[in-house]
Amino acid sequence: MYYAHPFLTLIRTSVLIGALWAAPVAADTIKVGGTGSGLGVARILGDAYQATRPGTRIVVVPALGSSGGIKAVVAGALDIGLSGRPLKPSERAQRLYEQEIARTPLVLVSMQPHPGFTRDEIAQIYSGSLRTWPDGTPLRPILRPDSDTESAILRLMSPEIDRALTVAYARPGVHTAITDQDSADAVEHVPGAVGTSSLALIVSEQRKMKALRIDGVMPSVAALARGRYPYFKPLYIVMPHPSSESVKDFVAFIRSPPGLRILSNNGFLSLKSGEK
């Protein structure tokens, strides 16, 4: 079972931050980390950036989650945090600022061949009233921590899903995955699993799990851009103020035409500066 206790998550974040502090780095090393949905594309962006600047090294650390990445930036263990949410006032008060650079469709995923679900059916999955796939395979929902961005977006899909998630967290034996990568691993390896993820994670990490239609609409960057698919996970870059010139240069690369193409090719709808 994948279970995310808040205390265990705090320990995991603290250990990773400590390891980042202890690791020797070159003078021009930029450390990046945070929400798992942005790690795959961050590695691709880092590789492209390093190809033009061989003296700079981009290090993408394992998933810390949005809050963990923000804490690591505050602690000075990361140069850039990746977040699926904007900063809270208390975080912004710690000399941090954020830029929303892109959005990726939040998707329902499984390894089962299936045309998809309506929002009413999604509510039935989490409440436990829909328990099997059409072929009779037990349907096993994979939850994320209730404080997670994906859970918050899922609750906003409908009042029925909101109520069903509350029921799901109280059901014994339901899997709860800590990070985006934990959730993807569970969906790919637990028979009959269904969970949430992002299109960007599927594309950038070349995952085997498949995105499912919601209310008959297949999630895609094009559908998100046209407003036909309304469910998305934002990607914020979080930086200390002031930031080093090397960090600013890497962020400028991400916002440049080559960087925006990489985002678009990996499941993100890139945003122009200031665009909402």
Segment 225-253, tens digit of pLDDT: 999 999 999 999 999 999 999 999 999 99
Give the list of residues 6+ apart from residue 25 with CB closer than 8 angstroms, or none: 31, 57, 59
Do both 84 and 113 map to the same domain?
Answer: no
Residue 249 lies in a domain: yes
Q: Which of 226, 233, 177, 162 is nearest to 202 (CA)?
A: 233
Domain of 56, CATH number, reads: 3.40.190.10
Give the list of residues 6+ apart from residue 130 with CB closer than 8 angstroms, or none: 121, 124, 139
> Two tokens at 237?
């870059």
Segment 48-75, tens digit of pLDDT: 999 999 889 999 999 999 999 999 999 9
pLDDT of residue 69: 97
pLDDT of residue 27: 54
Do both 99 and 109 map to the same domain?
Answer: no
Do both 212 and 111 map to the same domain?
Answer: yes
CA distance 92 to 216: 39
Residue 241 lies in a domain: yes
- What is the band of 146 on the pLDDT scale with cuts at 50, 70, 90? very high
Do both 198 and 264 map to the same domain?
Answer: no
Domain hosting 200: range is 104-226
Q: Are 150 and 196 in contact (CB under 8 A)?
A: yes
Do both 168 and 90 map to the same domain?
Answer: no
Residue 1 lies in a domain: no
Q: Which residues pair with 132 in a beta bridge?
A: 138
- Collapsed DSSP state (helix, strand, coil) of residue 51: helix
Residue 275 lies in a domain: no
Number of domains, the chain: 2
263: Cα separation from own chain's centroid: 14
pLDDT of residue 22: 45
Do both 196 and 250 map to the same domain?
Answer: no
Which stretches of 111-215 are assigned E, i.e. beta strand? 116-117, 140-143, 175-176, 193-198, 210-214
Residue 251 lies in a domain: yes
Do both 125 and 89 map to the same domain?
Answer: no
More confident residue, 43 or 1: 43
Mean pLDDT computed over 174-203: 97
Residue 17 lies in a domain: yes
CA distance 150 to 84: 9
Do both 98 and 117 map to the same domain?
Answer: no
Q: Are 100 and 270 in contact (CB under 8 A)?
A: no
Residue 143 lies in a domain: yes
